[in-house]
Structure formats: C-alpha cells, structure tokens
Chain A
C-alpha cells in the first residue's frame, strides 16, 4: 500500500509537470498520448526507484526481520533432519563441459556438508541433436565414475519435447516426483553451494506453508566485457533491489525458474500448465512457466518467498549483447502470454497478477518508450512546421496559447534521471556503509566501476529498447521481423554486428538528422537515444570481447567479491578437469561406436526392439555407415542408429574388425588412438 501511494503520488506530480511542459498542456491528441505514455513509464521507473530505496533502508536498519531466514536461528536449523530432495537440471543443447562441471562442483560441495545422502541429482535433457545428447550421456557416465555417484546421479532424455522446460520438469515429476519431498531446480549455468541447499531444505521443513523458496542468484564467471559489466551491476545493485522486493512481496514473491526449492506434492497437485486458449501469442504452450507456477502455488494456498540472504547461489550472464537479446526474444513472448492469465486466470492472488504485469511491462515499456519518442517527434514537427493553432481541439471562447517552459522541462528530465540513477548511488553508499568496498577492489575501483557501468547501461538502453519493441510487435502480430542472423559465438564479429544493428543505426541517423533540420534544441534532446543507436555495432562488438573484459579486470574495473575474496565453487568450476567426453577431432558418434566403454553406456540408453520399416531403415543405415564411414549419415540418421542398442554394438564389433584402409580403420588408426593415448578412460 505504501509503495502504491508513493508511486501514484510521484507519478501524479510527474504528470502535472509534464502537462505544464507541453506547449498546449494536453490540449491536443498528440499531447494526450504523450501524457498517457509518460504516466505509465514514469510509474514504471518509480516502482524500481522505491524498491531500491526500500532495500537500502531495510539493509541499513539491519535487514528484513520478516524474512524467512531470520525466523529460525542457526542453532535450530542445524538440528532439522532433511527430507528427500531431488536436484534437477533441465538442459537443452548446452555446452556439456560447463554444465556438468557446474553440477560436479555442486555435488562435491554438498558432499562436504555430510548431507549428500538426502539428495539425488537428475540431468533432464531435451537435446535433439545426437552430437549433444551422446556427449551428455558420456559426460554423465564420466561424472558418475569420477564422483562415485552411481545410484545418486541420474540422466534422463525426453524424446518427445513437449511444453519446453516446464514439460521436462513435469515429465520428471510424473516418473519420480513421488520419491521426493522437495525439488531444487537448477539452470544449466547454475552454481549453488551445498550449505545453501541444505539450509533451503531445512527451512522448507520448518515452514510447511512455503511452496517455493527462491534464492537471488548472483551472476559470476563473466569473461567478456559485457558479461563482466552485467555481473558487476548484479553484485552492486541487486542486494538493494532484491531486499526491497522481498520485503514488499513477503510470501507472494515470484519464482524465477531456477536456483529455487519447490515443495513437490503441492507443485504436482496444482502447478500443471494447461495450454492457453487465446488467439495468437495467447494460445499454445506457456513458454515462461515460472511466474505462472508461482501464481498457481499461491492460488493453492502456499507461500512463495524470495530470500536474498540465502547466499552462494550463482548463475551466469549471456556473454554478449546479441546473446542477451536472443534470450530476451523468448522471454518477451513468454511474458506477453501472461497477459491472458493476468486477465482471465481465476482466483490468482493480486500480488501474482502484479508480478505478471511487471513481467509484461519489462518488455512493453520499451515499445511505449519508442511510441513516446515518435509522438514527441510528431509534436515538435507540428510546433515547428505547422502554423500555430489557437483552437486545437474544439470550438472555444478563448484561444489556447502555446507556451514553452524550458526550466520545467529540464527539471522533469533531471527528475527522471534521478529516479533512474539515484538507486545506483544508494547501492554505492550501501557498499561503503556496510564495509564491503574491499570486496570490489576498494573505493576507487567500485566508484569508477559504477560510473562506467552507468555509461554503458545508458549506451545499451536504446539498443535494448528498439530490440524489445521489435520482439513485442513480433509476438503480438505473430510475425518475425528478420534483418540478420543471430551471432551465437562467444564474441560478436563486426559483420554480424553491423548487419544486426544497421536498421537501428539508420533509423537513429535519419531521426537525428531530421531533428537537426527541425530544431537544434530537439536535436540535442534526441542525442541520448540517437548516439547509442548510431554506435550500436561497435558497442556490441567491443562489449563481446573477452580480452577487453580481462583487461578491465586487470585494471581493477568491475571486480566482484567472488573474484577478490575467492570462491570455492568457482575455483572448482575453473579447474576444468572434467575429462572430455570426446576429442574435437572425433564426433561423439564416432566415440560411441569405437570406444568399448562408451559403446556400452550408449547401448544401455538405447532402445532394443524397433520393428518393421524402422528396423529395416536402421539396418540399411548401419550397413552404409560401416561401408562409407560416419560421414555418410546425417544428424537424423545418426540419431536413429545411436538409439538402437544392437546396431551400436554391431557397429562397434564391425568397426574394430575393419581393414586399416577402410573409413573406420582410418578413424581408429588416427583420431581414436590419439584420444586413447591422451585421455585413457580408466
């Protein structure tokens, strides 16, 4: 209620100033549109501002006394026995080495707590490309052997990938959910300390009304400059915002889809996701499932908590702007779907409907900002080029004199910037007052990092705005506005960046040129948006550079506590001693055929009794594969062959009997022998 009053009051004041600034004070439809858009956007940033301020105040006053973790002292928590818990990691075409390396670090950390016996681990794969899932299976076996985790670390791959990640989790729950009281959901890049997992289970044991307990994952392991800026911003600002958010939401928080613990029974009973029945984007499977599951858990009478004080919970940032925007495209569509539930889902709590609205606005706000800029351009054009209209809308007795109040306009712009940037300064103050400045490399390092982060975020904001606007339009009108392929490599190349950003750059050049021709003052007003769009390609390329990120790190920019103080989980991850499941020179399929151990492993996963035409097809494929080598099969064919255990075994025997000058003989004599020499299996 307090937040609502503050936001409404502040927005009312902002709208009053905005009306005063506009020449006709809202007397024309263009100005009325500007006022409505301004009100929504101003309210939106006001919410963020006050959450940051609340977070600062709560932290300065010693933390949130209402929070779940403060209800139970450590002395009580330590004595709570643990319920059976599944740690599940849904994956889909993820880098196996990183994913399983993270899982290994979590497993070992849990082992150190002495509570491993209460946990089972599940890798839940949705991968379709055999190169990925063969590597996953090999990596799983390798990890089981290394950790002695037989019977505790499991692997399951769905062959029918329905309903995205939530369908993968539901598939797990249908098969094994009844074995567990809790389920900890990880992302492919998640890292969590064993102590944190144990503490979460104990809190759930003590709080039977809690259905979901969400940690606030910190971003780590950033290599590129982009990722390092994101992780620094996350570490510096997130404590304030997450504390404020948690204090406002209490038991009606959102679920973010990973690094959270879920009470399995009510989740299975109430959180199934039906297909949406609306038109266009509002129909079909729900792609952003987490907010919906939290809302359904709340509807079932359970609480959902965000607990920022549950530390040592990590995730990673997309390495580049392109990767981030690719992810945002999915999220934008998923969040827009929530509008249907916001309006029509019965009996949801108001807080969860507000969470839907918040998620929707995360992307729609960009489109509204773009619309605001377009209307502002139209308004200026009318003022400059059109003759003054003293009776703009309807017949009236007295003329309406346009008036311009530049001081008010500057005040409004200054106020908006204050709302955007003041919480960041509060975050700096919080770091200083809580004695954490050394965790960021000292006062100078944290101060200049925040300044540079603000500059970079100002450069990125218009680029994100334009991209998000495009995603919203695409989702709402069910179209795809393609202008270039996405770059998915670790760094963004110049050609890709120019192709990706060219439309925005051209738009900004035209807009700024038009503004200059129209009115120099309007030109200056357009620059904070136009310049970042004009510089979008070099910004995207430079931010994606790993070497640049490391140079900034060496220069003391964007340091985070885990880098300054050290972090066992990260050190374990970076030790990177997970033996490779296959060599780069040989595909996972070749290894699956040739390696005696892997052949058995993959054979155990494969099906045994296909019949009829499918069996004949597989038999023809294996004959071709033996005679002409692995390159004779495409990805689909490899999938068929590698899912048939008898064929895998047959190919293994035949390949080893092949003459040296045959395709398989060459594979054995070249790459395979090398891999055995350098990476013996046992």
Chain B
C-alpha cells in the first residue's frame, strides 16, 4: 500500500536534513511536521515541491566548507634542454 503523501513529504524532509548532517532533535522534528502541515494546506504547489523549496528558509542548514581544490598558481614553463 502506498504511503500517505504527508508521510512521504516528512520522510523527504528528514532525509534532506540528515544528508546535511543535521541531527533530528524533538524540536526540529516538530518544525519538520509543521512544514509538512503547511505544505499540505497551501493551494499553489505540490506538497513535496513546496516543502523542499521552503526547507532551506525554515531550517538553518550548516555551511559546507569546501577545501581549496588547488593552491594559487605559480606558472612556469617546461624546457627541453635545448640550450645544453
């Protein structure tokens, strides 16, 4: 049997928070359920799209520090030993 849409939206919200490394405290769980409730009652968008669009605005997602992929350039050239 297919799960109700409310459960599916809540699972998606939980997954996204988990994927961002956020631990689901009771307080956050309540906020997630409130987000689902809002998604279900608003008339303009599909509940899933609404919830996932709103999620970044309603939850403090942790910053993702990206390491530098490479250091500052120090350009040089390759020689062929022609001057020898």
Q: Is A672 an interface residue (CB 8 A)?
A: yes
| Docked CA distance A120–B75 (Å) | 17
How far does the alpha carbon of A299 sit from the alpha carbon of B83 in the complex, in Å?
Answer: 11
Would you give the 0/1 interface string for B10-36, flagging 1 where the beta carbon is closer than 8 Å to chain A?
Answer: 011001101111000000000000000
- Residue pair A656, B64 in contact (C-beta under 8 Å): no
Asked whether, in the complex, the Cβ of A296 is within 8 Å of the Cβ of B81, the reply is: yes
Residue in contact with A596 in the complex, picked from B16, B74, B78, B84, CB distance below 8 Å: B16
A587-627 interface bits toward B, Cβ cutoff 8 Å, 1 = contact, 0 = none: 00000001111001100110000000000000000000000
Closest chain A residue, CB of each to CB of B81 = A270
Q: With A150-B68, A681-B21 in contact, is A657–B73 under 8 Å at CB?
A: no
* Contact call A141/B67, Cβ cutoff below 8 A: yes
Residues of B contacting A406 in the complex (Cβ-Cβ under 8 angstroms): none
Q: Are A676 and B18 in contact (CB under 8 A)?
A: yes
Q: A268-B77, A673-B11 are in contact. Are A657 and B52 (CB under 8 A)?
A: yes
Interchain CB contact under 8 A, A680 and B21: yes
B77 touches A174 (CB 8 A): yes
Is A78 part of the contact surface with B, judged by Cβ < 8 Å? no
Known A-B contacts A151-B68, A347-B84; the reply to A597 vs B75 at CB < 8 A is: no
Given A596-B19, A657-B53, check contact A173 B78 (CB 8 Å). yes
Nearest CB on B from A180, distance (A) = 9
Interface on B for A, CB 8 Å cutoff?
5, 8, 11-12, 15-16, 18-21, 46, 48-49, 52-53, 61, 64-71, 73-81, 84
A141-B66, A154-B70, A596-B20 given; 17 more Cβ-contact pairs under 8 Å: A144-B67, A149-B67, A156-B70, A175-B74, A176-B70, A176-B73, A176-B74, A268-B77, A268-B78, A268-B79, A273-B80, A597-B19, A597-B64, A659-B46, A672-B19, A676-B15, A682-B21
B54 to chain A, nearest CB (A): 10
Nearest neighbor of A665 in chain B, beta-carbon distance: B48
Contacts of B15 in A (CB 8 A): 668, 672-673, 676
Q: Does A269 touch B at the CB level, under 8 Å? A: yes
Can you list, as one digit per residue, whether each of A258-279 has a CB less than 8 Å from chain B (1) or not (0)? Answer: 0000000000111111100000
What size tier do the contact residues of chain A reach?
A: 35 or more
When the two chains form their complex, are residues A270 and B80 in contact, meaning their CB atoms are under 8 A apart? yes
Given contacts A597-B19, A660-B48, A668-B15, contact A156 B75 (CB under 8 A): no
Could you jot down 14 A-B contacts, CB within 8 Å? A153-B67, A154-B68, A154-B71, A155-B69, A173-B78, A174-B77, A175-B73, A177-B76, A269-B79, A299-B81, A299-B84, A597-B19, A672-B19, A681-B19
Given contacts A347-B84, A597-B20, contact A150 B67 (CB under 8 A): yes
Least distance between A75 CB and chain B CB atoms (Å): 34
- Against B, the Cβ 8 Å flags (1 = close, 0 = not) of A655-682 are 0111110000100110011001100111
Contact A174 B70 (CB under 8 A): no
* Chain B residues whose CB sits within 8 angstroms of the CB of A178 once the complex forms: 74-76
Could you tell me the distance in whole angstroms from the C-beta of A135 to the nearest C-beta in chain B?
A: 16
Q: Are B66 and A173 in contact (CB under 8 A)?
A: no
Please tell me if the beta carbons of B67 and A600 are within 8 angstroms of each other in the complex: no
CA distance A605 to B80 in the complex (A): 32
- CA A300 – CA B71 in complex, angstroms? 29
Q: Once bound together, how far apart are the Cα atoms of A620 and B22, in whole Å?
A: 34
Residue with the greatest number of chain A CB neighbours at <10 A, chosen from B18, B48, B69: B69
Which residues of A are found within 8 Å of B19, using beta-carbon distances?
Answer: 594-597, 672, 676, 681
Question: What's the minimum C-beta distance from B57 to chain A, rounded to whole angstroms?
Answer: 13
- Return A290 CB to nearest CB of chain B, in Å: 16
Cα(A673)–Cα(B16), bound, Å? 9
Give the residues in chain B near A141, CB-CB below 8 Å: 66-67
Give which listed residue, B8, B61, B66, B76, contacts A604 with CB less than 8 A.
B66
A177 CA to B70 CA, complexed, in Å:
12
A449 to B11, CA, bound (A): 59
A394 to B57, CA, bound (A): 101
B69 to A: closest C-beta gap in Å = 5
Contacts of B46 in A (CB 8 A): 657, 659
Q: Which residue of B lies closest to A301 (CB)?
A: B84
Q: In the assembled complex, which residues on chain A have CB atoms less than 8 Å from the CB atom of B49?
A: 657
Bound form: Cα–Cα A320–B81 in Å: 40
